[in-house]
Structure formats: C-alpha cells, structure tokens
Amino acid sequence: MSPLISEKMLRYLYNEMSAEESMVFLKFINSSPAVREQFNQMKEGFETLNSISLNPSRNTVDRILSYGSIDGFSMQ
C-alpha cells in the first residue's frame, strides 16, 4: 500500500477530510476490492486502538513529571 493511500485512510478515519474529499475517497475505496480490504484492516486496527484505555500509576506519572523538570545542566 502506498504511503499516500495510507495517509488518506488515516485522514478519513480521523474525520480530517471535507465532505467532498470523503465522497471521493469512499468512491476510490469501493472501486477496488484489494484497497477495500486494506482499508478494512486499517479501520479494524484503528477501532481496536481507540478501545484501549491506559491508566498509569501515580508513581509513574510523578516520575515522568520529575524527569521533565530536570534541566540540561543537572543531567551532565
């Protein structure tokens, strides 16, 4: 799959296309069974990733914030 097609698929999934672009994209997707299958796989992965919920522990958040507050001189 070309990077351009992948980008368009992602733009469609993230609702970053105008209504006109979406119509053209869907027409393109439906014109080729192979491209439609690739889109369905990407959509399935997109939906799976959106359903994942992560809850880091308070200790993890504190460590990240602490690391982010270190200036370049302290790390030398």
The model's pLDDT over 12-58, given as tens digits with 9 standing for 90+, comes to 999 999 999 999 999 999 999 999 999 999 999 999 988 888 888 99
Could you tell me the pTM of the whole model?
Answer: 0.63
Q: What is the mean pLDDT of residues 46-71?
A: 87
Q: What is the pLDDT of residue 57?
A: 92
In the DSSP assignment, the letter for residue 15 is: T
**Rounded Cα–Cα distance for residues 46 and 62 (Å):** 30
**In the chain, what are the domain boundaries?**
3-68
Residue 25: burial class (beta carbons within 10 Å; 0-12, 13-18, 19+): middle
Task: Band the pLDDT of 2: cuts 50, 70, 90.
Answer: confident
> Which of the pair, 2 or 45, is modelled with greater confidence?
45
